[in-house]
């Protein structure tokens, strides 16, 4: 048997190929890391703009257009326990999803239907600035659907209760059923509806069946056909993040003009 047909040669050759491939993969990951981070940042900005209604669902928009539109957005870091703005902390240094998994950067909350177990000490909310003052608030939201965690942005008028838009950008729900949370026809139905009742208790919900118009049925939106549990998950996450354990303290201070 020749040396090239021996076990040692085969193992050595395979090891050499693996080594070369691993070096190439590592080099690519390092070389492309900055570009990947830029793309993640751009995608986040685009989803904030979608929730605010500045970018339409399905609209093709390039990097320069996103950057230009985003100049009207002001990221603001808030303390989630007090609702106060933290001007000393940079929004770029806050990663809500990572911080929620870090016990040193988050705190536990009571059991809830959204299945959110911890909330970050600091979070970033987004203000749409018009005429040098906020004209809209965009809040990151998340919670469990049927099969997955849903991630999105909820846009509110400065009265803190009227919905201006909603954008879900990441989930693993069933296509054609729970996956319809991304359907622009459905998300358009949210505009003009209300989060809070007259006592500022979160009461908005995804109804089972059809809801009336925002004027006739302000606290409900149409359900998703065949996706009742996903709808319940959406209801739960909206109520959680606008409640006392979520952005409630911030929203209360904002509408009172305290911040």
Considering the domain architecture, whether residues 127 and 239 belong to the same structural domain is answered as yes
Considering the domain architecture, whether residues 227 and 133 belong to the same structural domain is answered as yes
Considering the domain architecture, whether residues 40 and 103 belong to the same structural domain is answered as no
Range of the domain at 243: 73-255
Condensed to tens digits (0 to 9), the pLDDT of residues 193-230 reads 999 999 999 999 999 999 999 999 999 999 999 999 99
Within a domain: residue 60? no
Helix, strand, or coil here: 81? coil
Query: Whose structure tokens read 């007090």?
Result: 82
Q: How many domains does the chain have?
A: 2
Within a domain: residue 214? yes
Considering the domain architecture, whether residues 36 and 155 belong to the same structural domain is answered as no
Q: Which residues, in sequence order, are CB contacts of 128 under 8 Å at separation 6+?
A: 52, 54, 72, 73, 74, 134, 135, 136, 137, 138, 155
Condensed to tens digits (0 to 9), the pLDDT of residues 245-259 reads 999 999 999 999 998
Considering the domain architecture, whether residues 25 and 134 belong to the same structural domain is answered as no
CA distance 77 to 83: 10
Q: In the predicted model, is pLDDT for residue 170 greater than 70?
A: yes
pTM of the model: 0.85
User: Within 10 A of 50 (CB to CB), how many other CB atoms are there?
Assistant: 26
């Amino acid at each position: 048997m020749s040396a090239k047909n021996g076990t040692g040669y085969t193992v050595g050759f395979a090891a050499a190929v693996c080594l070369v491939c691993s070096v190439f993969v590592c080099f690519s990951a390092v070389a492309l890391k900055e570009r990947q981070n830029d793309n993640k940042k751009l995608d986040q900005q685009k989803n904030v703009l979608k929730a605010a209604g500045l970018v339409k669902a399905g609209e093709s928009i390039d990097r320069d257009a996103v950057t230009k539109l985003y100049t009207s957005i002001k990221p603001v870091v808030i303390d989630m326990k007090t609702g106060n703005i933290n001007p000393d902390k940079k929004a770029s240094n806050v990663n809500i999803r990572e911080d929620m998994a870090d016990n040193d950067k988050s705190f536990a909350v009571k059991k809830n239907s959204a299945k959110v177990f911890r909330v970050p000490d600091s979070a970033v909310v987004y203000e749409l600035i018009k005429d040098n003052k906020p004209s809209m608030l965009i809040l990151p939201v998340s919670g469990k659907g049927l099969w997955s965690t849903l991630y999105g942005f909820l846009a509110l008028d400065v009265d803190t209760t009227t919905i201006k838009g909603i954008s879900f950008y990441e989930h693993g729900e069933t296509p054609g059923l729970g996956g319809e949370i991304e359907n622009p026809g459905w998300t358009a139905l949210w505009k003009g509806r209300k989060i809070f009742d007259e006592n500022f208790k979160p009461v908005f919900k995804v109804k089972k069946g059809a809801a009336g118009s925002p004027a006739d049925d302000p606290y409900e939106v149409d359900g998703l056909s065949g996706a009742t549990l996903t709808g319940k998950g959406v209801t739960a996450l909206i109520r959680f993040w606008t409640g006392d354990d979520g952005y409630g303290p911030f929203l209360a201070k904002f509408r009172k003009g305290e911040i």
